[in-house]
Chain A
Amino acid sequence: MSRIGRLALGAAAALALAALPWLVSDFLLSLALTTLMYVGLAVSWTMFSGATNYLSLATAAFFGLGAYVTAWGVATLPWPLVVLGGGCAAAAFAAAVGGVILHLRGAYFAVLTFGLGELVRHTVTYVEKSRFRTVGRVLTVTPDATTVYLTVLLVAAAAVAVAALVRRRRLGLALAGIGADELRAQTLGVATRRVKVAGFALSAFFAGALGAAVAVRWTYIDPPAVFNPFIGFQTVLIAMVGGATTLGGPIASALVFSLLTEVLRLRFPYAYLAVLGALLIVVVLYVPGGLASLVPRRPPRVEPASASGAARG
């Protein structure tokens, strides 16, 4: 599909999705919201981790931080500012810790990012208890369901658009180079540390914004609910099942995953997680490149460095 074709398709999909609140039942709208949330999370995860092979389990930390920005600010601040604030808080946190932990690779990085979620969760718990004498918060003033849905749609769409843009830019090229061979990329002029921190923070922004937007669905917020490691695992799973180096894969995978989870949950309320786990194993064993690898595609293309001609002067 041509670039314009894909743009048109994306815009049409976003418009159609924006009309959902007036077309479908509350149940379906809630399902659509969960799906969009995972689209946004998986795509933003892929932006950094898929490209660089730095497997991050920190999504829960970013998501939870965003949720807590909502918990603290939703009653007093305008809604767009709350969501933006959630994203910025997560991005700032990612940039701060990224500078310290992004020289670790492989299992060390994965374990450390998982630990980040726990660290933030316990810190928030401590602050809430010692300063505000509370273990959780009841959200009384919240936007209506349609606003929340449209917000999540907007953030997810922005994540997809930014991911598509990054892939075409030097940042995306640098991230892919880091994933392919970090030292080589560095000796060819990539400021790897800066690029990694930027990618990590950008990816965290969307996770944080989604956390902030989705948080109001729960009327009661406490750290175990929003810093749920399951959110991080689920995100990684969706992205890997879809094909972590592609853009379309994680989107398709998030759709399949959310719908499948819902169907399985309704049919096998006690065994659905086991079934999901089994499906994952099958995918990892037999479709290691993810769902996206099942679709024949053109060889990866890089934008010609036509800018180089102009940038020589």
Chain B
Amino acid sequence: MADPLLSARGVTVRFGGLLAVDEMALDVRARELIGIIGPNGAGKTTFFHTLSGVLAPSAGRLLVHGHDLTGQAPHVFAAHGVARTFQTPRVFRDMTARANVTFALSFAGRRRRHAHDVFDDARSILRFLGLGDDADRVAGALTPSRQRLLEVGMALGARPEVLLLDEVAAGLTERELETMVALIRRVRDELGLAVVWIEHAVRALMGCVERVVVLHQGRKLADGPSAEVARDPAVLEVYLGANR
């Protein structure tokens, strides 16, 4: 099997006495579509923060393309091809949608070569997301669901190889959710990116990804093809609750 693009080894995060993430290991390979689920407080977002350099782990290592980036700042992760979104969309509200994507293209995306012509400029990225008509609108004036899409666009502007999505489905209507799920698949299928998607809305996620990682109390409880994980008794016990 090819070397992983992104690799977490024994990643541990402590907040004082609280063990938020406990010896997590995850390998993300090219074109993988991975979902991470887990109940509230399982450490999903904290783990995600370490994957993007936002939070340095208390122990463990993070490798991107085999380079040890443990303890490096987020812009270094971005420069190595790891881009992310945030739970609450963090777009530059006063800038136009186009300027938001241009921003990413001007920094992390600037020196990163990428095969796909979607990455040529802000306009083609916005069109890929179905935001072509919103290019000149100020980001803060877009609907929340469009801001979410735009944030994915900003991440794509970084011309990444691994896209980390933090609860991109939160607060979306059924229809918007379908659009988002279709988009996530296209990001992988058409653009050839690896995607790691953390989600609360388990059903939508299970139908979209091929591999699921279940986090529970900071530890990895299960890791495998979605169909298998969905039948795993331990997972059903802690995560899906009583209906066994």
Contacts and interface: CB of A to CB of B under 8 A. Distances in A.
Interface in A180-197: 180-181, 183-193
A299 B140 CA distance: 13
A313 interface: yes
A299 B104 contact: no
Contact of A307 (B52, B79, B90, B110): B110
Contact of A308 (B75, B77, B121, B136): B121
B54 A187 contact: yes
Nearest to B85: A187
B110 A189 contact: yes
A189 B96 contact: no
Nearest to B89: A184
Interface string B72-87: 0111011100011010
A133 interface: no
B138 interface: yes
Secondary structure dominating the interface of A: helix
B14 interface: no
B113 interface: yes
Contact of B79 (A184, A185, A189, A309): A189
A53 to B, nearest CB: 12
B96 A299 contact: yes
6 contacts: A186-B78, A188-B158, A189-B75, A189-B110, A300-B95, A307-B110
Interface of A: 170, 173-174, 177, 180-181, 183-193, 299-309, 311-313
The 4 closest A-B pairs by CB, nearest first: A189-B108, A189-B107, A302-B99, A189-B78
Interface of B: 52-54, 73-75, 77-79, 83-84, 86, 90-96, 98-99, 102-111, 113-114, 120-122, 136, 138, 154-155, 157-158
